[in-house]
Amino acid sequence: MSMASVHIVGVGGYLPERVMTNAELEQMVDTTDQWITERTGIKERHIIAEDQMTSDLAVEAAKLALADAGIGIDDIDALMVTTTTPDLIFPATATVVQAKLGGKDFPAWDIQAVCSGFVYGLAQVEGMMRAGMYKRVLLIGAEAMSRIVDWTDRGTCILFGDGAGAVVLEAGEPDVENGLIGSVLHADGSYRDLLKAEHPHQPSSPEMHHQTVDFSLDSAGTAAVEMKGNEVFRVAVNKLGSVVTEVLDKYEVNDSDIDMLVPHQANIRIIQATARKLKMDMDRVALTVEKHGNTSSASVPLALHDLYQSGRLEKGQLILLEAFAGGFAWGANLLRWSK
C-alpha cells in the first residue's frame, strides 16, 4: 500500500492589535532603537490584549486557514496546537480552541517544543497522515510570549511578541513530487539552562525539593524567560547550518533547488547566516522579524502566511522551513508547494 501525500491547503495568521515599538521599550528599560535594530532586526512586536488568551489568537488564525481551505471545523479530523504559553496547565489549549471553533469529538492535543514547535508539529502530523490516521488536520502555532517576559530584563524583553499562525493539512493520493517531502528533528537537553523559563510553582534548586513550598496565589510568581544570549546565538547558527545540510542530503536536494526559506524569526543575523549557508539571496527568505519580533512557535507559520499573502508562493516551489528553540530543540521541514 502506497503512503498518502500531505499538502497544505489552507493558511492563516493573526496578530493582536496592540503594537509595541522600540521607542516604547526605550522608556521601559535601558536600551535604544538602534541597539535593538542592529542586533536583532526587530522594530516592533504585537502584544496580546488583557482580555485575550493564547487560544483566542489560535482561533482567529484557524478561522482564516479554514476559510482559505474552503472547509469548516466539522471537516477536520484532528487539531494540534504548538505553544509555550498555554491557557491552562491542563487541559490542552487545543481542546479550548476546538470548543471555541465549535468542533467536537475529534482528537485535539498540544505539543511543546518552544520555538521549534511548529516544525516538530508538522513532522508529527505528516507521519500520522501518511499512515492513514487522518484526512485533514488543523495545525496551529500560537503564543502569548509577552506574558512570560521579564519586562525589566533588557536582554530578553526586546525580543518577543505574540501571535498565531495556522495551516490546514490534507492527505491525498500518493505523490512524490508535491506536498510535504520530509523532516529532520533534533534535541539536546544538556543545553537547557542557556534558554529557559522556570515554572512559577517549581523549586528552582535541588535543595528546595526538601523544603515546604507555598503554592498560594500570592507566592505563585510569574514564569519569565532567561537567556544567555551569546551562547544561544553561537549554538543556533551552528545547529541550523547543520540541520539545513542534513535535510537536503537526506532528501537528495541541492541548496540551489530551494526556492524559498521560511526560518524561525528570532534574530536577523541568525536568519542571514542560514541564508548564506544556502547561498540564498535575502529576497528568497521570509522575513517578519522586523514587525513581529520572536513569536516562538507562531513565527514559522506567521512567516509562511506573510509569504502567502504577499503572493510570493507559487505552485511547484521548493520550500524549506527551519527553527531553533530552547531545549535545545531544532529541526527542518522540506515541502513542494502544491496550493
Mean pLDDT of 15-29: 97
199 is catalytic: no
* pLDDT tens string 238-267: 999 999 999 999 999 999 999 999 999 999
Q: How many domains does the chain have?
A: 2
157 is catalytic: no
- The dihedral built from the CA positions of residue 250, 254, 258 and 261, taken in this order, carries a sign that is positive
Domain span at residue 239 reads 179-191+225-336
Mean pLDDT of 265-286: 95
The band of 208, judged by pLDDT with boundaries at 50, 70 and 90, is very low
pLDDT at residue 203, rounded to an integer: 64
Residue 68 C-alpha cell reads as 482559505
Scanning 10-168, the segments in alpha helix (DSSP H) are: 22-26, 33-40, 54-69, 93-101, 117-130
Whether 183 and 167 map to the same domain: the answer is no
Whether 261 and 161 map to the same domain: the answer is no
Higher pLDDT, 146 or 229: 146
Whether 145 and 31 map to the same domain: the answer is yes
- Rounded-to-integer distance, Cα 92 and Cα 88, Å: 7
The residue from 22, 267, 294, 333 that is catalytic is 294
Whether 155 and 134 map to the same domain: the answer is yes
Span of 41-50, 229-238, 241-250 with lowest mean pLDDT: 229-238
Q: For all residues of the chain together, what is the average pLDDT? A: 93
pLDDT at residue 209, rounded to an integer: 46
Whether 57 and 127 map to the same domain: the answer is yes
The residue from 7, 115, 157, 267 that is catalytic is 115
Check whether 221 has a pLDDT greater than 60.
Answer: no
Q: Which residues of 150-168 are buried (b: 16+ CB within 10 A; e: fewer)?
A: beeeeebbbbbbbbbbbbb
> Is 235 inside a domain boundary?
yes
Mean pLDDT of 205-210: 47
Whether 98 and 187 map to the same domain: the answer is no
- DSSP for 225-276, written as a single string: EEE-HHHHHHHHHHHHHHHHHHHHHHTT--GGG--EEEE--S-HHHHHHHHH
The residue from 7, 22, 157, 264 that is catalytic is 264
- Rounded-to-integer distance, Cα 53 and Cα 276, Å: 38
Whether 70 and 147 map to the same domain: the answer is yes
> Is 232 inside a domain boundary?
yes
Residue 326 C-alpha cell reads as 530552547
Query: Whole-model pTM above 0.75?
Result: yes
> Is 212 inside a domain boundary?
no
294 is catalytic: yes
Mean pLDDT of 209-232: 62
pLDDT at residue 176, rounded to an integer: 79
